[in-house]
Structure 1
Amino acid sequence: MYKSGLVPPLRLCFFMWLVFTIEFYLSVDLGYLGIYPREITGLVGVVMAPLLHGNFNHLVSNSIPLLVLGGSLFFFFPAIAHRVFLQAYFFTNILVWVFGRPFFHIGASGLIYALASFLVFYGLFKRNFKSVIVSAIVIFLYGGMAYSLLSFDDRISWESHLMGAVVGLVTAMLLRNK
């Protein structure tokens, strides 16, 4: 068990910022390493997409919720946190690869939606004091994320948001007795 719930999300954020810094200083665009649905070469994005960001604002807007939601997961639910985090990371991206529109999907927002969805639904399914309080706090802080599930902006990978929310819900259902 970690002394701080922030350690695993901080590691991921470190790599997100490292990749962004490399892109910036070398003037390269690694967006082609994102998820490209239904193309074998696009499978590399299942691993790489959360590390890639289109600009500084995109990176910051993914880093803060990743630290808050990921930190909450590892701090409050350490026994299941690694499993939840890995399922959220990989299953979300696999579903985007299967169902997404044919363009490069980048960013950690699918993971963020999966974590938020898990934390909310786990509290609703588990119904113990700690889980319900965490669920209520996530709804208070990030409830507005639900609105963007219905926003089909061509510039945003809403598929990542939707698939993340679904993965979080299913993971919460499967682990409700853990």
Structure 2
Amino acid sequence: MTASAPPVARSPKATRFLAPIGLLALMWAIQLADAVLPGTFVGWGLRSWDLGSLQGLVLGPLLHASWTHLIGNSVPFLILGCLVAVEGARRFWLVTAVVALVGGAGTWLLNAPGTLTVGASVLVFGYFGYVVLRVIAPGRLAHRIAYAGIALIVIVLYGTTVLTGIFGAGPGISWQAHLFGAIGGGLVALTGRRREPAA
């Protein structure tokens, strides 16, 4: 007679939200360090047409020009980031990476040479594109219905802001980062196999 192995304990579903929370905490920690240390980290952002600034593809979304800039991005980043993380931390990091690369590449190419771009809005717009377009991606009907409801709420809450951020961006605001961030999020939603949330 052999004893059966004990069931493997699953980690709580809430742990998947640690990814966006942790990334936002990192942004706040960087902004705090930037405020108390001499100099500024903003120069590590993405400078268009400058091959020496490509580290900005990764670092740019983590940097902000001011506390107001960071605070303005924080709430939509957390809400939309958690809606992406519903599908798991791995999916969240995949979406984040693709959005940062696609959004950064489009910004680097289309912004005026030498323009410095920083801020998490590229990720915010990318998460928006992902949450809205994952409705039409393959998946279980019940999940697609739930995603449709979430997408509708997100469009009501942020749709006008997204349109303004792309088509009516004021001086000093990168519509390129917004547009290509949204495109990056949409690409992830429409391509590849998405892991269904654990039951």
| Same-fold status (TM-score > 0.5) | yes
Q: What residue ranges of structure 2 are gaps of 5+ in the alignment?
A: 1-10
Counterparts of 1:44-83 in structure 2 under 5 Å?
44-75=55-86, 77-78=87-88, 80-83=91-94
Paired letter, 2:19: P
Is the 1:117–1:168 Cα contact (8 Å) retained in structure 2?
A: yes
| CA drift at 1:153 | 2.2
- The superposition leaves residues 96-128 of structure 1 with CA deviations (integer Å, 9 ceiling, x where unpaired) of 222222210000101110100110111144572
| CA drift at 1:81 | 3.1
Is the 2:19–2:92 Cα contact (8 Å) retained in structure 1?
A: no
**Judging changes above 3 Å, is the alpha-carbon distance between structure 1 residues 23 and 87 closer, same or farther for their aligned structure 2 residues?**
same
Name the structure 1 match of 2:13: 3
Is the 1:16–1:52 Cα contact (8 Å) retained in structure 2?
A: yes
- SS at the partner of 2:170? coil
- The superposition leaves residues 62-105 of structure 1 with CA deviations (integer Å, 9 ceiling, x where unpaired) of 11111100111112x22733322221122211222222222100
**Does residue 170 of structure 1 match 2:187?**
yes
Larger Rg: 2
| CA drift at 1:142 | 0.9
Paired letter, 1:60: I
Normalised TM-score (structure 2): 0.80
- SS at the partner of 2:65? coil
Report sequence identity in percent. 26
Counterparts of 1:15-164 in structure 2 under 5 Å?
15-75=26-86, 77-78=87-88, 80-102=91-113, 103-126=115-138, 128-144=144-160, 145-164=162-181
Paired letter, 2:99: A
Moved more, 141-150 or 64-73: 141-150
Q: What residue ranges of structure 1 are gaps of 5+ in the alignment?
A: none
What's the C-alpha RMSD, in Å, of the aligned pairs? 2.0
Normalised TM-score (structure 1): 0.89
Aligned residues: 177
**Judging changes above 3 Å, is the alpha-carbon distance between structure 1 residues 88 and 155 closer, same or farther for their aligned structure 2 residues?**
same
Is the 1:124–1:135 Cα contact (8 Å) retained in structure 2?
A: no
| CA drift at 1:2 | 6.3
**Judging changes above 3 Å, is the alpha-carbon distance between structure 1 residues 2 and 50 closer, same or farther for their aligned structure 2 residues?**
farther
Moved more, 45-54 or 22-31: 22-31
Moved more, 95-104 or 44-53: 95-104
Paired letter, 2:54: L
